[in-house]
Structure 1
């Protein structure tokens, strides 16, 4: 008998203004590192037309392809459907609902910067995503 698929441990929504850099990199790392254990989405309060090419290049250097991602508009439904909402500079544009865990990651905005400037932002995001996975795992084990 084939093993039954398990439901994700948690759902995580990453939000930044344009959904073109920080939130896309975070979603890429979480998807890559947690696999199907966590449901991942991202959105922006004022989404851009495309993902930041420097973010795409920086993530490709880390072995993660986000080149086919498209910026998405933040919706109330997306927030309601998420256990964790992680904001990155969206300010008051992010709706707040009880029963969710909200984290604000103060990260430099990679908009308009070259890949050299984006690499340290990417690396900081990876560190924070790894800590988030550890926290989600610990919470589920408790």
Structure 2
């Protein structure tokens, strides 16, 4: 049985971009890809504008909590996708790293967060096509 690829999304606060990316990947890839997210300096709560933007896409992240990045999470990932954590993300040999240049939704209203959310979905869909090619994507409610 083939190994399921594992993706770790990392941003500084694990309150916006990495949360949106993780939930999109979970919703669209189902159990074909293991998904985690973490932050180098986690916030106390998920960004309310990110919660609202994802709710508009039919996905509830209101109950999500920012988590601290651990070396184990990085070491056990097939792909680590960073989103603005700079030099604070640990780097291990043999792990595939990618940086997604995305605006930080921190302190922004819903109008500014919607295009970030939509760009994240595009990147996640491309990632699914790469890591789990030829498999159908699940569709979050109202996210079409």
CA distance in 2, matches of 1:50, 1:137: 31
Shift of 1:55: 0.1
**Paired residue secondary structure (1:63):** coil
CA distances 1:27-64 after superposition (whole Å, capped 9, x unpaired): 01000000011110000001000000000010011111
User: What is the aligned partner in structure 2 of residue 56 from structure 1?
Assistant: 51
List gaps (5 residues or longer) in structure 1: 1-5
- Give 5+ residue unaligned stretches, structure 2: 134-144
User: What is residue 3 of structure 1 aligned with on the other side?
Assistant: none
Tell me the equivalent position of 2:17: 22
C-alpha separation between the residues in 2 aligned to 1:77 and 1:7?
A: 22
Select the structure of larger CA radius of gyration: 1
- How many matched pairs? 133
Would the aligned equivalents of 1:8 and 1:36 in 2 still touch at CA under 8 Å? Answer: no
Equivalent residue for 1:99, pick from 91, 94, 119: 94
Shift of 1:127: 0.2
Partner of 1:13 in structure 2? 8
TM-score, scaled relative to structure 2: 0.89
Query: Conserved in 1, the CA contact under 8 Å of 2:52 and 2:110?
Result: yes
Q: State how 1:1-142 maps to structure 2 within 5 Å.
A: 9-138=4-133
RMSD between aligned alpha carbons? 1.2
Quote the offset at 1:81 in angstroms: 1.0
Contact 2:32/2:132 (<8 A) preserved = no
Runs (4+) off by over 4 Å: none
- Contact 1:76–1:95 (CA under 8 A) maintained in structure 2: yes
* Higher percent of residues as helix: 1
Q: Secondary structure of the residue that 2:132 maps to in structure 1? A: helix
Return the alpha-carbon distance in structure 1 between the equivalents of residues 22 and 45 of structure 2. 15
